[in-house]
Amino acid sequence: MADATNPIEQFQIKPIVDFSIAGYDLSFTNSSYFMVAAVLLIVTLLSVATGKRALVPGRAQSVAELTYEFVAGMIRSTAGPDGLRFFPLVFTLFAFVLMSNMLGMMHYFPAPGLKGFTTTSHLIVTIGLAAIVMSVVVGYGVYKNGFGFLKLFVPSGVPAAVLPFVVLIEVISFLSRPISLSVRLFANMLAGHILLKVFAGFIVMLGAAGGAWAALGILPFFMVVAITALEFLVAFLQAYVFAILTCIYLSDALHPGH
Amino acid sequence: MSRREEPTFTTPPDPDDFETRLNAKLEARRRAEAEARKGPSGWALGVRYGSEFTGGVIVGGGLGYIADLVFGWTPFGLLVGVCLGFAAGALNVVRAAQSMNNASGAEDGPRDDA
């Protein structure tokens, strides 16, 4: 009963296979399970969908093609055509975040314990994703532009007197990108799932109270239905936002200097 | 064809033509406007701006704190760092708002603000 209404129990990481190296706990957890499940699902679905290579796509193939076009269009419009060299990275990130978010929307899942889990509701996962993005941005930016990459921190048309300040602020602003990128995804998923669980908990509590209270339980029920719909939107939207911000940051690596 | 000389000029020449075209245009425009106004949900917007701003302050404060530890400027590194972080956070928010306006305003053309 306590578990049924505890809104943050769903985020607990439980080891499935215990494993440790030199005192470091490297257990295969439910979080790892859902990451592997997301990757396997993406790979399987996409290869099944595109396996036939029909000239006139069927339903599955057009979904795959739509996703491809969607991501390609996103890169083209934000980072320019030369940003398309990063298509594999952006598509992978988008697909992974989207699939993780969507798997998180399932309350029951064929996993040990049969519980659903949202990997993206853990800050460490989203920070890891953001770190990948930022290392690609910095790495490619320096590789392609050399010291020219530092132009990113020097906006044009600023008087020399305030330039040091502005550069400092720009550097801080740049360093804050991975934080805001990861915190946004994490906070959205965490808050949404807590909200869902809290309202679902109200139903259980009102039902347990019995009598007229139980009849009132219909109200949080409608709320849960509405929030579930909203959460599906958020799940997609956050994957989209993550991908589009990746594109915008990558465009800085391609074309530094404002 | 006994009613051949039915006066055609009393009925407007093409009643539907203009109206349907106008309606189609209005409909398309209304839909586009609703789409633009809907944008991201308020919650998403809030978290977006919030995380942009918080990120700036956290990084600024963190850098200031590190400067304190390394150079022994306590507490001025932290103070200045938080102030600069505040400015960076505000800058982040302005950039985010700009890019969002551009996204809802003109969909075509690459964004050049980021």
pLDDT digit string (tens) for A129-178?
999 999 999 999 999 888 888 888 888 888 888 898 899 999 999 999 99
Q: What is the DSSP letter of A255?
A: S
Q: How far apart are CA A100 and CA A255, in angstroms?
A: 31
User: What are the pLDDT digits (tens) for A93-132?
Assistant: 999 999 999 999 988 888 887 888 999 999 999 999 999 9
Per the prediction, chain A carries an average pLDDT of 89
**Residue A83 reports pLDDT greater than 80:** yes
Beta strand pairing call for A15-17 and A28-29: antiparallel
Q: Which of A79, A172, A252 is the closest to B59 by Cβ?
A: A172
Q: How many CB pairs under 8 A join A and B?
A: 88
Q: What are phi and psi of A114, to 5 degrees?
A: 60, 10
At residue B64, what is the residue type?
A: G
Flag if A234 and B41 touch (Cβ within 8 Å). Answer: yes
**Can you tell me the ipTM of this complex?**
0.74
> Inter-chain contact A176–B47, Cβ cutoff 8 Å?
no
- pTM of this prediction exceeds 0.90: no
Enumerate long-range contacts of A189-192, CB under 8 Å, 24 or more apart: A189/A101, A189/A104, A189/A118, A189/A120, A189/A121, A189/A234, A189/A235, A189/A238, A190/A11, A190/A121, A191/B47, A192/A227, A192/A230, A192/A231, A192/A234
Mean of pLDDT values over A50-68: 88
Cβ separation of B55 and A180 shorter than 8 Å? yes
pLDDT of B70 > 90? The answer is: yes
User: Which chain A positions have a beta carbon within 8 Å of B40's beta carbon?
Assistant: 237, 241
Closest CB from A172, A180, A184 relative to B85: A172
Position B11 scores a pLDDT of 56
